[in-house]
A and B are shown apart, each in its own frame.
Chain A
Amino acid sequence: MRDGLRSHRFQAVHTGCNAPRRNACLRHQYSLDHIRAIASALDEARVDAIEVSHGDGLKGSSFNYGFGAHTDWEWIEAVADVVKHSVLTTLLIPGIGTVEDLKQAYRLGVRSVRIATHCTEADISRQHIAAARDLGMDTAGFLMMSHMIEPEALAKQALLMEDYAPSVSTSRIVVALWTWTASGSATRLMIEC
């Protein structure tokens, strides 16, 4: 079984904006009991948000990106069961997950989402950001691989995401950019285990 071989990643992102936010992202191949225990501990520690999804977002489970041991819905339900304080968050990458998937996550208790695109392709996130806003979710745009383009071009892409939902704050978008451009700095803590 490849389950035992896959690298597990626990990622905690401490973003240094005016609304400090701690964000934990659990990647696939844990058991449901593991994820309950981890989420419970994070919740006890009053972490602001706990992000749960396949490493490539909702519906990322695939031959291409690796199958999880469970569906996104099983993971999310397990965490929703134990979380009392933290906001349940997820990741959606347009082209892999859809608006329907986002709605399903919402039905299971997810109230915050990062919507991620490659840094030059923000315009494919329009329908997903708008849908997240319509659901009343806390929404962050996330431009991946942002070291690939110049800051000005990156800012233009971030503004596109902001246009898709006025409630998506620029600071949230910029924080996401900054976190990634400054990868490896104190703003981002990643533990591979």
Chain B
Amino acid sequence: MGEKVKVAIIGSGNIGTDLMIKVLRHSEVLEMGALVGIDPESDGLRRAHRLGVATTHEGIDGLQSLPVWRDIGIVFDATSAGAHRKHSAVVTGAGKTMIDLTPAAIGPYVIPVVNDGEHLDAPNVNLVTCGGQATIPIVAAISAIATVHYAEIVASISSKSAGPGTRANIDEFTETTARAIETVGGAAEGKAIIILNPAEPPMLMRDTVFILSSGCGEAEIETAVEEMVERVRAYVPGYRLKQKVQFERFGSNNPQQIPGLGRFEGIKTSVFLEVEGAAHYLPAFAGNLDIMTSAGLRTAERIASRRIQKGLA
């Protein structure tokens, strides 16, 4: 067949440019249609131009004026939550699919290995957060075989990889991630913590997942976690377990008390993850950004295959 769906990326910063390089180098079903920015001097737009990709520095209005606009099937938004609302209205109004990498979360949350099949026809899907992409697969893996009473994630990223958008609204990270741990991960209660680490040289992204569950033994949990790590690695090659999965048991003689939630018997599972970026455009330490663009690529590819199947491409 060889049929491809044309995509546009709004946002010519780190995320948008890295995503463009992934589409150009790796995708068999996506084709770069345009990179959209607001600064003609941005490195991303200049790079796109060199690579033969159509560009505009006039934002969403400029995109609609490009000849390629009518052929675009999928648009990524790598700008900000504030700008996303307008972008989404234009894109979905034109019958195109919007993949939202901002925290706006107008559409349903998508974590590729967990639920991307559920939202293939949604006009707008949201990719949660980098910490969510790294940790929610683990929560979902345990939820599939046990009752998850509580899931807590700690995302540690290098200060250098936290852009101004993240810094200006860090609550969106904790709130969005916690909600998605519950709605996509299947935990009764979710909690998220983010730590910016200024160490030099910059550290690779690290994520810790603590899960309190009952109804399933340690061996099955370990196998489920290891299998899930492999499934994420299929689209994020730098994703790995930093240590063996660890367990702590809470029996009737020593239940775990969580203030506000109650006392629980069961197993605490601790999973220590590391995410090394593919260094397509961003440095390898920025695994937090790489996992977002990788998840975006994967999600778009599933949606593109669906559009091709339905004859919409």
A7 within 8 A of B: no
**Chain B neighbourhood of A69, CB < 8 A:** 257, 259
**Chain A neighbourhood of B173, CB < 8 A:** 95
Per the bound structure, the CA–CA distance linking A176 and B164 in Å amounts to 25
B25 to chain A, nearest CB (A): 33
* Selected contact of B259 from candidates A74, A124, A127, CB within 8 Å: A74
Total number of B residues with any Cβ neighbor in A under 8 Å: 29
Chain B residue nearest in CB terms to A95: B194
**Chain B neighbourhood of A74, CB < 8 A:** 259
Total number of A residues with any Cβ neighbor in B under 8 Å: 28
Contact status of A98 and B210, CB under 8 A, knowing A63-B152, A121-B198, A127-B168? no
Per the bound structure, the CA–CA distance linking A148 and B167 in Å amounts to 21
Per the bound structure, the CA–CA distance linking A59 and B173 in Å amounts to 15
**Chain B neighbourhood of A118, CB < 8 A:** 196, 198
B29 within 8 A of A: no
Contact status of A121 and B260, CB under 8 A, knowing A62-B193, A98-B171, A127-B171? no
Per the bound structure, the CA–CA distance linking A74 and B259 in Å amounts to 9
B84 within 8 A of A: no
B308 within 8 A of A: no
* Selected contact of B268 from candidates A61, A63, A70, A98, CB within 8 Å: A63
Per the bound structure, the CA–CA distance linking A31 and B197 in Å amounts to 34
B268 near A94 with CB under 8 A, answer no
**Chain B neighbourhood of A71, CB < 8 A:** 259-260
B170 within 8 A of A: yes
B152 near A64 with CB under 8 A, answer yes
A175 within 8 A of B: no
Per the bound structure, the CA–CA distance linking A37 and B258 in Å amounts to 24
* Selected contact of B171 from candidates A61, A100, A148, CB within 8 Å: A100
Per the bound structure, the CA–CA distance linking A94 and B162 in Å amounts to 14
B254 within 8 A of A: yes
A62 near B175 with CB under 8 A, answer no
Per the bound structure, the CA–CA distance linking A68 and B164 in Å amounts to 33
A111 within 8 A of B: no
Contact status of A96 and B259, CB under 8 A, knowing A64-B210, A127-B171? no
Per the bound structure, the CA–CA distance linking A128 and B169 in Å amounts to 9
B191 within 8 A of A: yes
Chain B interface residues (CB < 8 Å from chain A): 152, 154, 159, 164, 167-171, 173-175, 191, 193-196, 198, 208, 210, 212, 254, 256-260, 268, 270
A-B contact pairs, 20 of them (CB 8 A): A1-B254, A62-B193, A63-B268, A64-B152, A64-B208, A67-B258, A69-B259, A70-B259, A95-B170, A95-B173, A95-B174, A95-B194, A95-B195, A96-B174, A118-B196, A118-B198, A121-B159, A121-B196, A126-B168, A127-B168
